[in-house]
Amino acid sequence: MRVDGEVAVPGDKSISHRALILSAVARGPSRVTNILQSADIGSTAGVLRALGVAVPSLSSDMVVRGVGLRGLKSPEAVLDCGNSGTTARLMAGVVAGAGVTARFEGDRSLSSRPMGRVAVPLRKMGAAVLLPPGGGLPMDVVGAPLHQIDYVSEAASAQIKSAVLLAAVMAGISSRVREPAPSRDHTERMLAARGVPVRFHGDGAEVLPVDELAPFDTRVPGDPSSAAFLAALAALADSGTLRLTGVCLNPTRAGFFRLLERMGAKVRIEAAEEGGELVGSIDVAPGTLSGTVVKEEEVPSMIDELPLVACLAARATGVTEIRGAAELRVKESDRIAAVVTNLRRLGVDAEELPDGLRVRGGTSPLVGRISTHGDHRLAMAFGVLGALPGSAVEIDDRDCVAVSYPSFWSDLARVVS
């Protein structure tokens, strides 16, 4: 199998969410180009509309006319977050700091995911956050005058950190978040670009008060998590070189590509700073892949790609072990259990660990039906294995990739020859 060509993957999901949110609460119009036009980003757009912001339909070139930090209004209906945990958790911080009241709801998957992790710091800041006994959705947030906080998070989570920082910016106060390991720092970078005094610390970040956010035009770079799936296919190929262009290469997001090279693939990266982020191209060619150990400190930089790492491990020589990744159990599905179960269905030697998994690579044909549980990352990861010669992998819900990469299946087919 040969994998080659050039692909510009869709806009980054994390940056797309934040570009909409920050444009909505800036004072004046902000232009957003190359935004990810997916279901999750549509959920954030819908929530902002319900809060009184005129957000146009998602398009490759759009203008959001911000209402300012004090311009949001309590919605008349519930805020429907769909399947998007980022929407629910980041917007909880925005609503708390804006002093408005709203109820957040979502689909069955999102309703079962933990919201207490953002409720705790927001309550410490002075907001009222009401959750059902299970700790998921629906979530009621009652905004109030907030006070500053120096919050020590138990988890390295960009969503927790962002909820606190956004609440502080909305309320016009300073606040700091400390983390056990670095998490994605898009929120801090994008706030700084819009005039917020941000202090970057080795263990987190701090924001200082501002009266308003300046409007700012954003070109959303390509999503490294989406690029990872095509890069993995190129690494597993027999020949060819695949180029992925315009990809966000923020160091907190590029862990998968470092791992791919460590496993034996040929990876070359060219990057330059663009709008406060490192953006560039990635060239991937096949190599002989060997098993590896993913350590806890590496997990935050590739958290969304870990199901893909497990699938790569199924075709690598030796054993791959992932540890310190208990966070995977509270994603769109319990990704540890789901990945191991699905690998076993394909005949792969895989073992579930409390905080990760262990996979022994092999060469036997991969044949079986995969249960995605509606999880886009699982569909794409096993889709990569299904594209290999001799595989017969049936995926129960191919359409769930629309959450983050609507054109995934066509791009996958286009690069294979």
CA-based nearest residue to 237, from 209, 268, 270, 260? 260
* pLDDT tens by residue, 171-228: 999 999 999 989 999 999 999 999 999 999 989 999 999 999 999 999 999 999 999 9
CB hemisphere CA count around 134 (13 angstroms): 10
* Spatial CB neighbours of 232, under 8 Å, sequence gap ≥ 6: 260, 308, 311, 312, 384
Residues that are catalytic: 304
- Residue 29's DSSP bridge partners are 65
* pLDDT tens by residue, 309-362: 999 999 999 999 999 999 899 888 899 999 999 999 999 999 999 999 999 999
Residue 30 has pLDDT above 80, yes or no: yes
Model-wide pTM > 0.75: yes
Cα separation, 190 vs 237, whole angstroms: 37
For 223-246, give one letter per residue: b (16+ CB within 10 A) or e.
bbbbbbbbbbbbbbbeebbbbbbb
* pLDDT number for residue 273: 87
How much is the CA Rg of the chain, to the nearest whole Å? 21
Give residue 274's pLDDT band: very low, low, confident or very high (50, 70, 90): confident
